[in-house]
Amino acid sequence: MPFQRRAESGLEHFNSAPAETAEAIILACCGSRGWARRVVSHRPYPDVEALLAACDEAGYDLTPTEVHEALAGESSTGLPPNAPQAALTALAAAHAAYESRFGHAFVISLDGYRPDEYLDQVLAGIRSRLSHEPDEERAVSAEELRALARSRLAHAVANHPETDVARATT
C-alpha cells in the first residue's frame, strides 16, 4: 500500500529529526510553541494515529495565551484566483468584520467538505460565529485550531516529509 509506506517514512523522519526540525514541522501546523514542544517531547510515535492523538491531546492543553499565539499565526482563508469577484468581495468583507470583532483571523477546518463547498462553509461559519460572545468564540476557535493542526500534521507526515520540512523551516 504506497500511501501507508509514505506515511511511515514521514513518521520515521519526524521521529528521528532533530528537535528543532520536528518543532518547525509542528509550528507549521499550529503556531503555538508550547503545543509544538509537547508533541515533540513525546517522540517517537509508534504510528501516525498515535502522533495525531498526541496532537489532539496537546491541543486540549493549550492555555489561552497559547491559543492567542496560534491564532496570531493564522491568516484568513482565501479563494482560488479564478473565483468570481463578488465572492472575493463577500469573503473579504466577512473576514474584515470577523477580525474587527474578535481581533484575530477566522479559522475553520474544512475537512469533510468538497472544494466547491468551501466558500459557502466559510461564509456561513463567519456569519454564525459573529454572534458569539468573545469567550465562546475563543473556545470555538481553539477547537477549529485543533482540527486544522491535526489535518495539517497528518498531511505533513503522510506526504513527502522532506518537502514539508523544507517549507516548515524556511
pLDDT at residue number 165: 39
The answer for residues whose C-beta is within 8 angstroms of residue 15's C-beta and 6 or more apart is 43, 44, 45
Q: What are the angstrom distances between the C-alpha of 128 and each of 29, 110, 113, 123, 158?
A: 25, 15, 18, 9, 33
Nearest to 128 by CA among 78, 94, 79: 94
Q: Single out the residue of 153, 140, 126 nearest to residue 67, CA to CA.
A: 140
Q: What are the cell numbers at 24?
A: 518547525
> Residue 43 carries which DSSP code?
P
Predicted pLDDT at 170: 28
Structural domains in the chain plus CATH codes: 2-69+149-169 (no CATH), 75-146 (1.10.3330.10)
Q: What is the pLDDT of residue 45?
A: 96
| Three cell numbers, residue 166 | 523544507
What would the pLDDT profile of 91-150 be if each residue is shown by its tens digit? 889 999 999 999 999 999 999 999 888 888 999 999 999 999 999 999 999 999 999 999
Cβ atoms of residues 70 and 30 within 8 Å: yes
Which pTM does this prediction carry?
0.81
